[in-house]
Structure 1
């Protein structure tokens, strides 16, 4: 981890990726929802806040945009990240490629490695992420094989380039449905909070809280309510997602990065 030292007076941090890194679905305190064009918080913002809490000045850019495929991230975000020459980079990409029909984790991994090479050449510490285990999500369970294959590639790439890895697959706390938002694809605010703490642990950043703390007990499941929730999810989230795939649209169309420049965290 050549470019990152928690003892520095100033740390520059750039986050690259898609909706996972943009912060969906984690609204800022006081906002019950984020309106069209609004800004989410997310684990990357929370990570920057934790670093700043140590007394270090943090200059932070978040280039992530929801819905982006890996080649779009490389074309649109990677050159800017290299230009900024940060001390710390978090890079998570490829998930949107893999969950699409015919997604090839081997091909995505080859593209991913080229990006990691360019990022590590800057001297930055580049943090990588495995995909989360979808065993607890019935609609996504069939993707476990692709995700596991991609995860093995990510770990091998991390070994080759000396990158720390945040293992989402092994985070049992993410197996609880409360770690995920209503759309069952993005993390909830609590999921983002726990993930930020896990990234801090990997980087050696002191932070208050336990990402692996037990969840409070849930009442016994009600199958009628569960079926109603499934129907609501299909109507509100699955059908629109399929519609975007069929028409070649993306949730990120027309959107730009929420923090395109390295700016002091306030």
Structure 2
């Protein structure tokens, strides 16, 4: 349970626009009817229930998008929507590409933040995850940590609120992740939504269910499981997203208009 009205400072949150890639689209958090939920939908629901004014929500995130694509396709729409709150999480797909420059990605991230800050009352940004428990990706831990430091610095310069995913112990537990270990599970998305709500000032009246259970010792995956994961999930994903083998599927935002829930 969360208490207090959904406000940032003294201003109520009456509209929320989410930008980004698969993390914000909600991959890994499927409803019984197959629709994607995700932390952003869950946060929007929490905000709507506590908003003292009519609440509207849009989710422009599209899986696989690079930061340049998000700046080109999604960021300009915020100027038309002028929301009270905009969330921005981008750069993860870029960091995973061979030869990518963290400093260059951070520069583009800051360009987006400057633009978003001129059209939204509050900008909420997200750091990278700590990949120490994920095979292969843990080799990029230093690169992701550097990007996380950049995001904190950018947020400090421009007055953004920060959801620090790196520090979330709950996300170090296998149950927080889908079988592909690349996208959060429903529980992982729920934990992120609660953390984001806390950053926005909505505090839980008691400990969230399952939080403590997810903070126990993480069992290290066995080598055979790692090899199976790499064959079934990581290598196909690598081929599609990192080596430029584009899917024939035409992807559009799941909630392109700022509408009531």
* TM-score of the superposed pair, with normalisation by structure 2: 0.88
- Displacement of 1:243 after TM fit? 2.3
Distance of 1:160 and 1:212 partners within structure 2: 35
List runs of 5+ in structure 2 lacking aligned partners: 1-6
Q: Which moved more, 1:235-244 or 1:156-165?
A: 235-244
* Cross-structure match for 2:65: 68
Map residues 1-266 of structure 1 onto 2, 5 A cutoff: 5=8, 11-28=14-31, 30-31=32-33, 34=34, 39-56=35-52, 57-207=54-204, 210=208, 213-215=211-213, 226-245=222-241, 248-250=244-246, 254-265=250-261
| CA-based RMSD | 2.6
> Are the structure 2 counterparts of residues 13 and 216 from structure 1 closer, same or farther at C-alpha, using a change threshold of 3 Å?
closer
Q: Contact (CA 8 Å) 1:10, 1:59: kept in 2 or not?
A: no
**1:202 Cα deviation after fit:** 0.3
Q: 1:216 to 1:102 in 2, by over 3 A?
A: closer
Q: Deviations over 1:121-168 (max 9, x none)?
A: 114200011101011112211111111111111111101110010000
What SS does the corresponding residue of 1:144 show, helix, strand or coil?
A: helix
Structure 1 residues 262 and 242: alpha-carbon distance in aligned structure 2, compared to 1, 3 A threshold: same
The unaligned stretches of length 5 or more in structure 1 are none
Normalised by the length of structure 1, the TM-score is: 0.86
- Paired positions, count: 253
Would the aligned equivalents of 2:174 and 2:218 in 1 still touch at CA under 8 Å? no
Q: Distance in 2 between matches of 1:222 and 1:161?
A: 39
Distance 1:245 1:75, change over 3 A: same
Change in 2 beyond 3 A, CA 1:185/1:8:
same
Checking the alignment, whether the CA contact within 8 Å between 2:173 and 2:215 is kept in structure 1 is no
Deviations 1:94-129 (A, max 9, x none): 000001111211000001100000000114200011
